[in-house]
Amino acid sequence: MPSVLAMGDTLVEVSMQVTDAWEDSPDMQASSCVFGAGGSAANFAAVTAALGINSGLATDVGNDFFGSFLIDDLHRSGISTRLVREHSGDNSTCVISVGADGDRRFISYRGAPRQAPPAEYQAQLMDDLASRDWLHISGFWLQSPITADLALRSATAAKRQGIPVSMDPSPQIMESPNEFVDQLLDVTDVFFPNAYEACTFTRKSDPEEAAGQLAGRVPTIVVTDGANGVIWASSDGISTIDALSVEVVDTTGAGDALAAGFVAARLLGESAADALHMGVRTAAVIIKSVGGHSAVERLSPLRP
């Protein structure tokens, strides 16, 4: 069975349904409130596992009230927790206001400051990585020098071993790139920014122009643009794939699901074009429910 290792965030999601996610009023009333487990890397790993890929996750989980809740969710999702590092601190939490159209706005707390992992954990990480067929990195880990350094060293090791590397950035790291971003892009094979992230990073106003510029640096660029679909750029040129017309409940985790569907299909031998279509179909399933990966039970394992 093909295997993938994801590196990045695991967090508590508090999703509140509101009339308009972008409402400026100081007092917004929610019609529902859902607690769940999420985080870009955890969402990705949960979806790849549901699609039949052996999935591991390198992440940090705090020992507060939500610690066992998050780890239990990883187990239920079929994700290996061998590289889950527990620390004495708060877990990351994200409050998400979800509008009637499924669009959302985030307020994130990235948890207590982390300490550098001990040498034995780093050795265990490299040992696990050597057995994997793909490495996927969540950009949220690039916001802290400690986790960014770990991600960069892992990606560099993967590159040396011929293991493909993909990265899904975060808005903050594209708004204010640090030294790790450039270094990581140099060893990335597939880059999954959304339209805002791509345009912000390249200082372009058009997502297609941004995708084209990024393609000069990373072999495969996949820019997600919500209802406008997906922009795919490589040395062969730029093309677009339409989004599927579905009832949108919550777009949280849509980009993670698309990346997971793409990677899973590629690991099972599909072409890049077919893998992108699989990613679009996978994202369409996830956005029908509240939460970043609450709908994974609706996915079926892919067949080679």
Q: How far apart are CA 222 and CA 234, in angstroms?
A: 9
Per-residue pLDDT tens for 153-175?
Answer: 999 999 999 999 999 999 999 99
- What is the token pair recorded at 198? 């791509």
Q: Is 234 exposed, middle or buried (0-12, 13-18, 19+ CB in 10 A)?
A: middle
Is 221 within 8 Å of 238 (Cβ atoms)?
no
Output the pLDDT for position 105.
84
- What is the token pair recorded at 201? 């990073």
Phi, psi for residue 7 in degrees, rounded to 5? -125, 130
Query: Within 10 Å of residue 128's Cβ, how many Cβ atoms?
Result: 17
Rounded CA Rg of the chain: 18
HSE of 157 in the Cβ direction (CA atoms, 13 Å)?
A: 19
CA distances from 231 to 138, 171, 182, 238, 281 (A): 20, 18, 22, 7, 15
Output the pLDDT for position 53.
98
| Residue ranges of the chain with per-residue pLDDT less than 50 | none
Is 103 within 8 Å of 249 (Cβ atoms)?
no
Per-residue pLDDT tens for 22-68?
Answer: 887 788 888 888 899 999 999 999 999 999 999 999 999 999 899 99
Output the pLDDT for position 103.
80
Domain boundaries, the chain: 3-9+40-84+119-294
Q: How far apart are CA 49 and CA 43, in angstroms?
A: 10
Output the pLDDT for position 113.
64
Strand order in the sheet with 11-17: 32-38, 11-17, 92-98, 104-109
How much is the pTM?
0.94
Output the pLDDT for position 107.
87
DSSP state of 116: P
Q: Is 103 helix (H, G, I), strand (E, B) or coil?
A: coil
Cα-to-chain-centroid distance, residue 6: 9
| CATH 3.40.1190.20 given to domain 3-9+40-84+119-294 | yes
Q: E strands within 198-288?
A: 220-224, 230-234, 237-241
The residue with tokens 């990335």 is 188
CA distances from 156 to 184, 262, 267, 269 (A): 8, 22, 20, 24
